[in-house]
Structure 1
Amino acid sequence: MNNPHHGARLTVHSREQIVRRISSGQSASDVAEAFAVSVRTVRKWLARFRAGGSAALSNRASAPARVSARLPEPLIALVLHLRRSMRMTGAAIAHKLGLARSTVSRWLKRAGVGRLSRLDPPEPVRRYQRERPGELIHLDIKKLGRFDRPGHRITGTRTGCRNKGAGWDFVHVAIDDATRLAYVEVLGDERKATTTGFLLRALRWFRSQGIRVERVMTDNGSAYRSGRFATALRLLKIRHIFTRPYTPKTNGKAERFIQTLMCEWAYGLAYPSSQARNADLTRWLDWFNHARPHSAINGRTPADHVNNLLRTHI
């Protein structure tokens, strides 16, 4: 509080000088003229010094010492008790105690319980990682807009860069839980036939990398719930695991991979068209699998980690 604003006439040092000059016999008017302040200001600081010594020359807090309309502490405690123990709404608390809703709301926000969800303890973070390659493969789909000219992300303007009616691309991803080895295709839709075809090609690709898939995790999308998708997994003797409804973090590795995919591939370069973007996927995916280190697997690349784990579990 002792750093005055840039337009302040007096600092703590100046106030001490004022007191010294008055004590040495100078008049208040002479001292006021020397420091370019009013006589009243000089007398104020002199009075404060006489009342509290040098410590009184420091800046005081700007908050008022007394607030006439402030709620008594017992009443504030009662408001918070009703909120925490009985989970009452702010309106119900205000009605019960005869207070203004704005007053109750202000104190609830100040205590950090303005939302009822804040009363529940946060769900503990549950992290898991399979030990063997192929023990669990995560599948997911990301929808991307097609374009035949660069959009506003690149040009910086929305004028003349709309791609109305261009349609959508659907990025199907599969990533191994233990190694982060990934397989991706850009397809025209997310229907059951397309999704099942991607599944079979992904399984075939993982098999070519020495990985035999045991389980597959997906969300509850209609294609993943279809009979065709279920039949394919049943014939291949692969277990199908669904995420909890409305809980995408259950399939977190696929979600995180999609974030990386969007940041480093889809939006990482200024592509002239979506065709050019899709053509660059092979290059990026090869770099991701063979050259990009991952902190979650001790700085190894997915391909290196696959070879290491396969040797371990032979």
Structure 2
Amino acid sequence: MSHANAALTPRARLRLARLIVDDRWPIARAAERFEVAWPTAKRWADRYREHGPAGMTDRSSHPHHQPRKTPPDVVRRIVSLRRRHRLGPVQLADQTGIPASTVHAVLVRCRLNRLSHLDRITGEPVRRYEHPHPGAMLHVDVKKLGNIPDGGGWRYVGREQGGKNRTATTGKPRTKHSNNKIGTAFVHTVIDDHSRVAYAEIHDDETAATATAVLRAAVAWFADRGITTIERVLSDNGSAYRSNLWRDTCTELGINPKKTRPYRPQTNGKIERFHRTLADGWAFKQLYLTEQDRRDALPAWLHHYNHHRPHTAIGNTPPITRLTNLPGQYI
């Protein structure tokens, strides 16, 4: 395909070559007519003589022969060492006997130049996925946050004053869910895999009854935005998601429950990454003088995340742009 600003398209090249070869125009005059250099006009004329009209198309710039290309067995050894031992270019160069710059070029070509591209446990390249349409998969999880004492937490007022505020805050006895005197906020989050549209509620526990109530509310919330069918839901292996109540609720809603591999949070990576965004953008973004102030700020932040904040994984557009709200658009 020609460059968008190319002076000569394949059709224009053919007209130029025919003026020179068939109509016997001087090369300099034909080049002036098409506003190209003399060598350019001669090249297309020579190619027309040799191949005819078929020779006017672009050719690959890939060389026919690469005598200095890294041998395949060396490439395989570099890749193997990188995956098994997570070595850098200098260490790999020492073990393979080739320059570090060549090792780096091989790693770039194989998309192994960043260790973040490799799974920490298996050493295999990270396999990213995205379901084809909204509702194909929901991710659910719980983010635990310590409640903020009256007067502010230690992150903003310092550990000494934060400790005093914590001691002075009353009204939250120790419970079986937390030994923290001021309690814990359990943020139940639900994310649509395709659009990254998020739903969240804050509760004081993470029991099966609470988790299923959040799921029902999330399904209704997504239905109001055009996602009328939820096919499956992915969760970790927490007790709430292994309960019979969770299983029965998913069956009632027509959802197929899925579980991540044990001790493998990467399987539910989209919601784990959302929790980091949630913490940076809302939970610890500013000074909250009370826990209620932080909870009151969550709906506004969620609206900003869904409707205004560009999401790099979906082309720097807000998640809501992937929902059309057209009935029957997604089945």
Bucket of the pairwise TM-score, normalised by the shorter protein: 0.5 to 0.7
1:20-59 CA deviation, whole Å, 9 max, x = no partner? Answer: xxxxxxxxxxxxxxxxxxxxxxxxxxxxxxxxxxxxxxxx
> Secondary structure of 1:125's partner?
coil
Instruction: Supply the AA of the counterpart residue of 2:132.
Output: E
* Shift of residue 269, structure 1, vs aligned partner: 1.3
CA distance in 2, matches of 1:253, 1:244: 15
1:230-274 CA deviation, whole Å, 9 max, x = no partner? Answer: 100011221001000000010011101111000000011111111
Q: What TM-score, normalized to structure 2?
A: 0.57
User: 1:133, 1:310 within 8 Å by CA — same for their partners in 2?
Assistant: no
Please identify runs of 4+ aligned residues in structure 1 that moved more than 3 A. Answer: 308-314
> Secondary structure of 2:222's partner?
helix
* Shift of residue 123, structure 1, vs aligned partner: 2.1
Who wins on radius of gyration, i.e. which is larger? 1
Specify which of 303, 306, 309 is matched with residue 286 of structure 1.
Answer: 303
Residue 262 of structure 2 is aligned to residue 251 of structure 1: no
Instruction: Supply the AA of the counterpart residue of 1:264.
Output: G
% same residue? 44
User: 2:233, 2:255 within 8 Å by CA — same for their partners in 1?
Assistant: yes
Instruction: Supply the AA of the counterpart residue of 2:123.
Output: P
CA distance in 2, matches of 1:290, 1:310: 20
> Secondary structure of 1:283's partner?
helix
Superposed counterparts of 1:1-314, under 5 Å: 122-147=123-148, 148-155=150-157, 157-162=158-163, 163-164=166-167, 165-211=181-227, 212-307=229-324, 313=330
CA distance in 2, matches of 1:222, 1:233: 15
CA RMSD of aligned residues (A): 2.6
> Secondary structure of 2:287's partner?
coil
* Shift of residue 313, structure 1, vs aligned partner: 4.4
Gaps of 5+ in 1: 1-83, 88-109, 112-119
User: 2:134, 2:330 within 8 Å by CA — same for their partners in 1?
Assistant: no
User: 2:230, 2:254 within 8 Å by CA — same for their partners in 1?
Assistant: no
Count of equivalent residues:
201
> Secondary structure of 2:223's partner?
helix
CA distance in 2, matches of 1:171, 1:235: 24
User: 2:154, 2:161 within 8 Å by CA — same for their partners in 1?
Assistant: no
Instruction: Supply the AA of the counterpart residue of 1:142.
Output: K
User: 2:250, 2:257 within 8 Å by CA — same for their partners in 1?
Assistant: yes
User: 1:170, 1:186 within 8 Å by CA — same for their partners in 2?
Assistant: yes
> Secondary structure of 1:201's partner?
helix
CA distance in 2, matches of 1:313, 1:226: 30
* Shift of residue 160, structure 1, vs aligned partner: 2.8
CA distance in 2, matches of 1:309, 1:242: 31
CA distance in 1, matches of 2:282, 2:201: 13
